[in-house]
Structure 1
Amino acid sequence: MTTQQLPSRLVFRTPATAVLGALLFAVGAIPFAFAAPWLFVVYVLPIAAIVLVLRLRTTADAAGLVARTAFGRHELAWTDIRALRVSERSWVRAVLDDDREQVLPTVRARHLPALALISGGRLADTSPPPRD
């Protein structure tokens, strides 16, 4: 009989290869950016995309969640989280005890079973059971 080993933490983030798309956009914008003196501001878009890809993430461990947004970091203990709400686009938000909602960057509905597992039973796994 094999025992299942739980990871100590889970990190949900955009794959780093997404940076390649932003770099490709920057290279493709070279002729446009040099067409007029003020058009160099087009490079703000790929720079912002790279920063977001590298910055946005949600880390889950036995203590709770850490949501890193574009301009902040929010630490949430499992005891402070009342529920998880899934939006119509399948993004996940943590509903806190004081009815505030905290966005969990890059966490999708398909990640809920993993969050339930890492929470140690503090969050219920609402996914349907597997078929035989």
Structure 2
Amino acid sequence: MDSPARLRMNRTALFPVGLLAVCTVPLAFAAAWTPILLLIPLMVALWVLRAGVDIADEGLTVRSTFGQRQVPWRDVAGIRVAPRGDLWLVTTSGTEIRLPVMRARDLPRLAALSGGRIEVPAPPAQ
């Protein structure tokens, strides 16, 4: 892999954020303290643009709104799927890191981009 694969939220999610900003403007000028409400759509837009997972030959980089955490492949023990479908990266030290904007339906794509380092479990037999 030459450059890391970047898994992010679809940019169309910025459309409702723009609507939120438009709806917030009248309220933001209602009193002297309310312009701080304009930070809400700004923070949501920042999250949409920044949060995600980068997959490279060296490992995974999990990005949140204000930080990031790099996990080399040798420290990856597996993936845990939460009851609501959220994905959690399990490390060899036993810690878990939530993979933002990724759900159980994204497991095949994550497995393909990992180069075989992450496997998709077979569905249970019925």
Does 1:32 find its partner at 2:27? yes
Taking the TM superposition and a 5 Å limit, the aligned residue runs for 1:1-132 are 9-128=4-123
Q: Comparing both chains, which one has the higher relative contact order based on Cα–Cα distances under 8 Å and sequence gaps of 6 or more?
A: 1
**Scaled by the length of structure 1, what TM-score is found?**
0.82
**Scaled by the length of structure 2, what TM-score is found?**
0.86
The structural deviation recorded for 1:7 is: 9.2
2:83 is paired with a residue whose SS is coil
Q: CA RMSD in A?
A: 2.1
Matched residues, number = 124
1:103 is paired with a residue whose SS is strand
Q: Which runs of 5+ in 2 are unaligned?
A: none
Largest Rg, 1 or 2: 1
Q: Which runs of 5+ in 1 are unaligned?
A: 1-5
Query: Could you give the per-residue CA deviations for residues 71-115 of structure 1, whole angstroms, max 9, x where no partner exists?
Result: 211111222110101112211111101101112111211111122
Letter in 2 for 1:99: G
